[in-house]
Structure 1
Amino acid sequence: TAAKKQFTAEGIEKELNAKGIHVKANSAPVLAEEAPGAYKNVDSVVKTSHDAGIAKLVAKVVPLAVTKG
């Protein structure tokens, strides 16, 4: 809910497209839920999991597209 209030679909689409990530969503509010700012930093989450021994860091992936709907 907070992401829908904080981010606009147009802004999210511009930000992701600038990174080479294609976006497709059924509606603007649905796209707002996928705003990169709505998520924790994945690098720090993965590092914490690796350091705690509950996961093993083996590769880094980057998104090519976001489909939501």
Structure 2
Amino acid sequence: MTDTKNTSVICCVKCNRPVSHDEIGLYKRIFNRGAETFWCIHCISEYLDCPVPKLEKKIAEFRDMGCTLFTE
């Protein structure tokens, strides 16, 4: 029996970079929980005028708070 995992890659709609699970969670947390298209952390950073390391810190804080958008 062959493993048939979904291997499609989700990409940022602004720059076409692949987005990670955490970037999807961050996008949903900030912009729209029901979103079906996403931005990468670099595009979110540019839009919010917020450095990437600060957004990465927020991801860690959300995960520590138990936010279900950041569980793998």
Same fold by TM (over 0.5)?
Answer: no
Whose strand fraction is larger, Structure 1's or Structure 2's?
A: 1
* TMscore range, shorter length: under 0.3
The TM-score with structure 2 as length reference comes to 0.25
The TM-score with structure 1 as length reference comes to 0.26
